[in-house]
Amino acid sequence: MAHPRLTPRVQRRAALAASGWVALAATAFPGGSPLRWIPVLAFVALAPGLALLLPQPLGLRPGARLEALALAAPVSLSVATLVATTLFLTKAFSLTFFLVVLALFVSVASTLPGVPLPAATRGAVERDGARSPRFEMPLFRRRGTGGGG
Amino acid sequence: MQRQGPAPVTGSGVPPQSPATDREAEEAGTADNRPEEREAERREAPTGEAPTGEAAAGESVGPEAGKSASAIPEAGKPASAIPEFRKPSPAISEAGKPAPTTAPAEAPAPAGPEAGTPAPVGSASRPVRRGRLTAALRSPDALNLVPLLVAAALWLWALPGIDFRDIEEFGLLDRFPLTFYAALTVLTCGFVLTLRRAGTAPLWPATYCAAMLVALKAPPAILYDTVRYAWASKHDAIISRLLHEGTVHPGRELSGGMGAYDQWPGFFSLDAALVRAFGVDAAASFINWAPVALGLLTVPVLILVYRTFSDDWRLVWTGVWIFQLANWVGQDYLSPQGFSYLLYLTVFAVVVRHFVLPGSAGTLRDRGTLDPAAAAVPPPTTTRQRAVAVLILLPVVATINASHQLTPVMLCATLFALCLTRRYRNIGLLVTSGAVMLVWNLTMGRELFLDTLGTLREKAGDLLGNSRPGFAGDPTGPGPELVGSANVLMVLALGGLAVAAVLLRRKLVRSALPLVLAAAAPLPMFAVNDYGGEMIFRVYLFGLPGSAFFAAAALVPAAGAVSRGAVIARRATAVALPVTLVAMLAGFLPSYYGKEGMHYAPPGETALTRRAFDRAPEGALILAATGAFPDAYYRYDHYERWFFTEQEVDENLRMLKDPAGYLAGGIPADRPAYVILTRTQGEAVIGEGYLPEGGFDSLRGALKRSPLFQVVEENTYGVVLRYRPTTGG
């Protein structure tokens, strides 16, 4: 990552970082137009979560892709909810402000390393000796070995 | 020859992915401590083939891998149905662990070339050039695709024929064309077929689940020209008010408890922001799509949860399918609880996957003691990792607290229940969630929180009272009675299956104990509060993920066991599974669409209601039989409302003797008052059991005849009356 080459991962991050500003630009389209609501919805519902979860230094291990995708929407919507709620509580809500805050959040988050959820990074460690010795033995089952069943 | 074996496939895998990459990533981490994960990954490829292979492969983990090769009964069978993403041999050997010994046995060479493409399948023995079309039609993908296309065609054909404008006592049940039912049945059968390759081609069951969700819940979104469901309409009104005011007033009291929505404004703020961002007038533009959207977002999280406890994709998908069918309680509309439920499941998923305490797994990583379908406990995490996970969850927990009153309580109850296990004793997360809840309740939600505390004294301990659905009598009329019976049967079927699995599959219960605890955690809520007659539905909803999982476990027996009993069980469930899924579908439809008469109001009716509100002066009292009609809360901060049948049935019977006098007695002096009675209300009072059959018509007739009330407007959709205190006395 030392060289700023346009690897697919860098491209993904760049796309994420840009998505908020694209969504903001899309609000120039007339209200209710699919050209407006589709990019805005996609950004609000996915981008913040993906920006937090995706940029893993070593890439996501495959098992974690489902997790990143599944969690992206709830996390994104949570971030969006907290931003919107704060803006309404402080009487500062405007569409532009809302999207700019989210777009900034996503832009910054996508340049940082992703949140190291253990499943994504395989970082979890079973402490030595943590396992009880009495469970060491039967790591295979008794049944069916003879007949292949 | 394509695999037609008895055996639905299991496998642990994640959707198409390269084991090689996985292993590289693992190497980067601490590979040696994760035998169960490698095992899970390895299982996915071979088990696509043989019924018992799954379990056998499961045994092959780690140091004992050498044993497992012989434990694969059908390893010699051609691996024809195959794993598009299988690149087993080299990848496995990369791991440098003893495990690789299983790979060659499980993944015969012929499988190799197929990797990556869903090519028509043909074993080496079969003449390959027999005609591409025949081969393609016989390929597993074609077998999966055909029912989907047939169902889609039937569904699209049925859609325009759904006569929602003329709903009578059975809701949409007798308004759905036969082709609609046929489409759903074909989808169900197609789904069962996809389970045969669930481990190797998980996209098929995923597609069917999404298709079923859309088929079940999209028709109102596509067809209706008004907001479906009175409560959704109420939320639309709240969002509109928020946009109009630009802020909330948590301390202000509004009639009908509407002030609570200002105290938990999170979800409405998000919707208000979306309304502005989409550039539409109101949430009504997209509100009917909420059940589909929430369902599509919930399913992946649910899969995460189920995958944590089972490596058997058949079980996972069947659980998801049952969850969809059993989720008839109607909390999936655009609502804070629907949204918070998604977030609740998210927290639960992260907890069960990332909050395992070191040294707590014990035998639960031991294949010999696990149920063949069970997944080993996820890898443990360090304190630092769990702290990071708490930070990630914090916005989610905060959003739950900002959006809904009850869900945070359910969340804390679930986290507390999980703390009862050694595996998930995460006091820090429980304390954090409790602290966030307390902070919100003592600041933004202070008014309602203190009120609720006040009523706890009356309601605490009243188990029967708190578990009563609603506060009216039994539904009357054949339609609502059918719905009531369907509800009961659904609960009994789901509960019966889940209990059977809990009793019969003890090993699975041990490893999936968190799901059992999560399902049981909401039960004590009955001892605390009735939540406006809603508690029973909410407890059901929060218990549903666990119940659906175990119900699926009853229908999808372990593939590995070879005892005679196990073989008989597998044969029996081969029939029982589709039959049960169709039966649950038959239970879902009345439960979800049986009262549609009170959920759909034609535009003429909503227009009548809005005109009535607009006609009334600011501060007027608006009377209606029930609040369960669209636009009941239109501009709710400008009026006071009295839904006069929402009380005990005895009181309603008394009211019916002299409706005009009864209502006049409740209207404060010098208060302008209007009565709105619509067709939807007529459906609702019967459906909810507020009034006996015919009660609504007699009420309406009596008010029209009374000199105390003057008809202001009347049409086929309803009647609006003005209170005339001076003329009647």
Per-residue pLDDT reduced to its tens digit, B219-256: 999 999 999 999 999 999 999 999 999 998 887 877 77
Chain segment B409-420, per-residue pLDDT in tens = 999 999 999 999
Same domain for B98 and B203? Answer: no
Domain boundary among B570, B596, B622: B596
Rg (CA), chain A: 22
Same domain for B666 and B563? Answer: no
Partner-chain contact B378 A119, CB within 8 Å: yes
The full DSSP string for A24-50 is HHHTTSPTT-HHHHHHHHHHHHHHHHH
Chain segment A44-58, per-residue pLDDT in tens = 999 999 998 887 766
Q: Could you tell me which residues come within 8 angstroms of residue B18 by beta carbon, excluding any fewer than 6 positions away?
A: A62, B85, B87, B91
Residue B159 is assigned to a structural domain of this protein: yes
Is pLDDT of B131 > 80? Answer: no
Same domain for B344 and B424? Answer: yes
CA-to-CA distance for B38 and B34, rounded, in angstroms?
A: 7
Looking at chain B, the whole-number percentage of residues with pLDDT higher than 90 is 45
Same domain for B338 and B460? Answer: yes
Chain segment B488-526, per-residue pLDDT in tens = 888 889 999 999 999 988 888 988 899 999 988 888 877
Residue B385 is assigned to a structural domain of this protein: yes
Say how many CA atoms lie within 13 Å of B143 toward its Cβ. 20
How many domains does chain B contain in total?
4
Same domain for B192 and B264? Answer: no
Nearest CA in chain B to A36: B278
Same domain for B569 and B429? Answer: yes
Partner-chain contact B297 A73, CB within 8 Å: yes
B24 is in which domain, residue-wise? 19-114
Helices B649-657 and B659-666 pack at an angle, to 10 degrees, of 110
Rounded to the nearest angstrom, the minimum Cα separation between B645 and chain A is: 36
Partner-chain contact A71 B402, CB within 8 Å: no
Identity of the highest mean pLDDT range in A74-83, B32-41, B662-671:
A74-83
Which of the pair, B259 or B404, is modelled with greater confidence? B404
Partner-chain contact A126 B379, CB within 8 Å: yes
Same domain for B476 and B607? Answer: no
Is pLDDT of B108 > 50? Answer: no
Same domain for B196 and B105? Answer: no
Same domain for B358 and B416? Answer: yes
Chain segment B604-620, per-residue pLDDT in tens = 999 999 999 999 998 89
Same domain for B313 and B434? Answer: yes
Say how many CA atoms lie within 13 Å of B157 toward its Cβ. 14
| Tokens linked to B627 | 């609040």
The confidence band for B275, taking pLDDT boundaries of 50, 70 and 90, is very high
SS3 at position B654 = helix
- 8 Å CB contact between A69 and B223: no
Partner-chain contact B358 A127, CB within 8 Å: yes
CA-to-CA distance for B412 and B409, rounded, in angstroms?
A: 5
- The ipTM, to two decimals, is 0.80
The pTM assigned to this predicted structure is: 0.80
| Tokens linked to B450 | 């203190």
Residue B7 is assigned to a structural domain of this protein: no
Same domain for B427 and B557? Answer: yes
Partner-chain contact A88 B343, CB within 8 Å: no
Picking from B15, B70, B359, the nearest residue to A145 by CB comes out as: B70
Which of the pair, B586 or B64, is modelled with greater confidence? B586
Residue B136 is assigned to a structural domain of this protein: no
Chain segment B640-653, per-residue pLDDT in tens = 999 999 888 888 99
Nearest CA in chain B to A97: B273
pLDDT value for A36: 95
Picking from B14, B62, B63, the nearest residue to A63 by CB comes out as: B14
pLDDT value for B126: 53
Same domain for B576 and B479? Answer: yes
Chain segment B298-315, per-residue pLDDT in tens = 999 999 999 999 989 999
